[in-house]
């Protein structure tokens, strides 16, 4: 089952081309990692998938579960199971984390034709899911991400993911700013949530995260496209040799 198929995708920011012909296919049950140097367009790709308005798709296609993802509004994408954990999670002062989670959760339920959970049932569910990321229930009563440390924000994103149970989870630099204990908790959460019927796309600059979440495929991105694809051993090779080696090899192939 193909979950995501990206063909020859090109995208601009303010008229500057950033994605320059990106190809990727993700099937159910797979964990993919995109690695690459800073500025190669990794975050741009994840934001294009989420439907961020600052990015303009100029060509190519993105098919998600048989439908044209690019035609869907950002909210529709998330309700139909595309989840993006941001590199820099947003703070929403004045909105409690619990309310925020319940609204997102019920919005997805509604989309699936299911009844909304009332506040009490949702409370039970969220408390059970807190365990996935070993999060203190006190975080539920605070404003969304406000004053959370980097690690707490990332854990909160995984909690959101544990509730929404996305079909395609996209994690952009979920490892950045995490100490080793937080990294293990986040990785363990992601591993628990990976199922045969869903897929995970991890975007990371470093190989470290991939010691804990083992990908089926590793893609190397540079200058707006995927240059090469391999198995999990490619991540180790990159760590040892750096990214220039892939670029040089790519040039040699041409």
Where on the chain is the footprint of Mg ion (CB under 5 A)?
38, 42-43
CB of 62 to ligand ADP, least distance (A): 16
Q: For 2-16, give one letter per residue: b (16+ CB within 10 A) or e.
A: ebbbbeebbbbbeee
18: partner contacted, choices ligand ADP, Mg ion, none (Cβ within 5-8 A by kind): ligand ADP
Let me know if 205 is exposed, middle or buried by CB neighbors in 10 A (0-12, 13-18, 19+).
middle
Residues at the site binding ligand ADP, with contacts judged by CB under 6 A: 13-14, 18, 36, 38-44, 54
Q: How far is the CB of 30 from ligand ADP (least distance, A)?
A: 21
Alpha-carbon distance of 228 to 214, in angstroms, equals 18
CB nearer Mg ion, residue 43 or residue 160:
43
Residue number, 34 or 161, with CB nearest to Mg ion: 34
Q: Which of the choices Mg ion, ligand ADP, none does residue 54 contact, using the CB cut-off of 5 to 8 A by kind?
A: ligand ADP
- Smallest gap from Cβ 206 to ligand ADP, in A, equals 12
Q: What is the rounded radius of gyration, in angstroms, for the C-alpha atoms of the chain?
A: 18
- Give the Cα separation of 124 and 121 in Å (integer): 5
Q: Are 57 and 69 in contact (CB under 8 A)?
A: no
The least CB distance from residue 242 to Mg ion, in Å, is 16
* Tokens standing for residue 16: 């500057």
At its nearest, how many Å lie between ligand ADP and the CB of residue 46? 8
CB of residue 48 to Mg ion, shortest distance in Å: 12
Question: Could you tell which of Mg ion, ligand ADP, none binds residue 44, using a CB distance below 5 to 8 A set by kind?
Answer: ligand ADP
Looking at beta carbons only, is 217 or 243 nearer to ligand ADP? Answer: 243
The tokens describing 172, both together, are: 């952009």
- From its phi and psi, is residue 41 left (phi > 0), alpha (psi between -120 and 50) or beta? left
User: 166 touches which of ligand ADP, Mg ion, none (CB within 5 to 8 A by kind)?
Assistant: none
Which residue has the CB atom at the shortest distance from Mg ion? 43
Q: What is the DSSP letter of 89?
A: P
Nearer CB in complex with ligand ADP: 129/154: 154
Nearer to Mg ion, 42 or 102 (CB): 42
Nearest residue (CB) to ligand ADP, 12 versus 237 = 12
Q: 55 pairs with which residues across the strands? A: 13
Q: Tell me if residue 138 falls in helix, strand or coil.
A: helix
Beta strand pairing call for 143-144 and 199-204: unpaired
């Amino acid at each position: 089952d193909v979950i995501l198929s990206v063909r020859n995708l090109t995208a601009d920011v303010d008229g500057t081309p950033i994605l320059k012909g990106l190809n990727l296919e993700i099937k159910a049950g797979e964990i993919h990692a995109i690695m690459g140097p800073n500025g190669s367009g990794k975050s741009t790709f994840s934001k294009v998938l989420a439907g961020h308005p600052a990015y303009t798709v100029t060509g190519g296609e993105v098919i998600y579960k048989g439908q044209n993802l690019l035609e869907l509004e950002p909210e529709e994408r998330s309700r139909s199971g595309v989840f993006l954990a941001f590199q820099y999670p947003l703070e929403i002062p004045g909105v409690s984390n619990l309310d925020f989670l319940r609204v997102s959760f019920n919005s997805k339920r509604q989309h699936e034709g299911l009844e909304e959970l009332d506040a009490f049932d949702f409370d039970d569910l969220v408390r059970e899911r807190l365990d996935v990321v070993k999060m203190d229930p006190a975080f539920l009563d605070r404003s969304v991400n406000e004053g959370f440390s980097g690690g707490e924000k990332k854990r909160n994103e995984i909690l959101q993911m544990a509730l929404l149970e996305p079909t395609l989870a996209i994690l952009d630099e979920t490892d950045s700013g995490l100490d080793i204990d937080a990294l293990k908790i986040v990785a363990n959460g992601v591993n628990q949530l990976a199922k045969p019927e869903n897929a995970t796309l991890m975007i990371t600059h470093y190989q470290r995260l991939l010691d804990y979440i083992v990908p089926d495929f590793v893609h190397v991105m540079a200058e707006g496209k995927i240059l090469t694809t391999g198995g999990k051993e490619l991540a180790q090779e990159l760590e040892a040799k750096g990214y220039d080696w892939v670029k040089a090899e790519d040039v040699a192939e041409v």
